Amino acid sequence: MKMSSAIRAALVALTAFAGLMSSAAHADEGTIAMTIYKAGWVIGGSGGSGVLNFRGRRYGLSTGGLDYGLVFGGSKTVLRGRVSNINRASDVAGVYGAAGAGLAVGRGARAIVLTNQKGAVLELAGQQTGLMANADLSGLAITLK
């Protein structure tokens, strides 16, 4: 029995779509904790370290980044949260970009959601300590140690 080309194309498209959905369904999640130090005057920089807990193992992380815009002061931010949409620990590594604004005098709360080029999603919240005023564009690079 011959299948029309339209039906065949529809079946191929449906099979491809099912494969994509299956791949997304197999994505996993983990927890992450990071400490980031940030300082600047117009142009700022940040750096720090952290730990990814994924599938029963701990992976060390390094962070570094640049900020440009209105940046003044220095701060220490301790963030904890979850990372989702990853298949392996190395999916967390990459560049995350964000536009943000904030003011910290003493202690303040901080929350952020970031996505990298591999689709990893970080949902983080925590405490920021220091004197920092910012309205900037920032990039954060995370690497596995």
**Structural domain boundaries, residue 101:** 28-144
9 domain-assigned: no
Residues near 58 by beta carbon (within 8 Å), at least 6 away in sequence: 51, 52
Give the chain's mean pLDDT.
83
Predicted confidence (pLDDT) per residue in 111-132, tens digit: 888 999 999 999 999 988 999 8
Question: What band does 133 get if pLDDT is binned at 50, 70 and 90?
Answer: confident
Question: What band does 12 get if pLDDT is binned at 50, 70 and 90?
Answer: very low
CATH of the domain at 122: 2.40.128
Q: How many domains does the chain have?
A: 1
136 domain-assigned: yes
51 domain-assigned: yes
Smallest CA-to-CA distance from 142 within 29, 50, 68, 20 is with 50
32 domain-assigned: yes
19 domain-assigned: no
Beta strand residue intervals within 24-120, DSSP E: 28-54, 57-86, 94-115
Q: What is the pTM for the complete model shown?
A: 0.75
Predicted confidence (pLDDT) per residue in 50-80, tens digit: 999 999 999 999 999 988 888 889 999 999 9
Predicted confidence (pLDDT) per residue in 81-110, tens digit: 999 999 999 999 999 987 777 777 888 778
18 domain-assigned: no
12 domain-assigned: no
